[in-house]
Structure formats: structure tokens, C-alpha cells
Amino acid sequence: MKLENINYSRSTALVTGASSGIGRAIAFELAARGVRNMVFVARGEEKLAKAASELRQSAPGIDVREISTDLSKHDAPAEVQRQVQV
């Protein structure tokens, strides 16, 4: 199956490092491919909120949940999982 033939509209993507760099670029590419639900995870709350806001503006109808945490901390992955399952 070719990637361009996949319907991503019912998918949810969890994007780490979403506030800048490669993570941000991946988030915007996923939105361009039709992903309508995303969970952004990054350390800096301000940059995270800015990236999420920019994506919402460029992709109307997209749902972006923001989780600000440092994934290098031992309990961070469990916290992300807990927040995603709520």
C-alpha cells in the first residue's frame, strides 16, 4: 500500500518534540496528509502552545491536545499515557 493511498482522517498521532524542529515538521506533514487528531508532547509550554495554535490555524477542524512534560524523566511516559486515556 502506498502512503498517499492511506486515509489518515480517523487516525490519532502522538508527536513528541512537537514544539519545534523535526517534531513540528512531522506534525504539519501529518496534518497535510489528513490526520485530524493529534497529541503534542514537548517540554516548553509556551512553544508547545504556539505550535499547536499555528497548526490549528493552518488546518481548520484539527483537534490538538497539548501535554507539556520532559520525556527524559522516569515517570513522564506513564503520565502522558494517563493524560491521553482521559
What does the pLDDT look like over 40-73, one tens digit per residue?
999 999 999 999 999 999 999 999 999 999 999 9
Instruction: Write the DSSP symbol of residue 61.
Output: T
C-alpha cell at 24: 513540528
Full set of structural domains in the chain with CATH? 3-85 (3.40.50.720)
What does the pLDDT look like over 6-38, one tens digit per residue?
788 888 999 999 999 999 999 999 999 999 999
Q: At which residue does the C-alpha cell 502512503 appear?
A: 3
Q: pTM of the full predicted structure?
A: 0.86
CA distance 66 to 38: 9
C-alpha cell at 17: 518534540
Q: At which residue does the C-alpha cell 504539519 appear?
A: 28
Q: Given a cut of 80, is residue 5 above it in pLDDT?
A: no
Q: Given a cut of 90, is residue 86 above it in pLDDT?
A: no
Q: Nearest-CA neighbor of 63 among 32, 29, 85, 40?
A: 40
* Beta carbons of 69 and 48 less than 8 angstroms apart: no
Q: For residue 3, what pLDDT is reported? A: 65
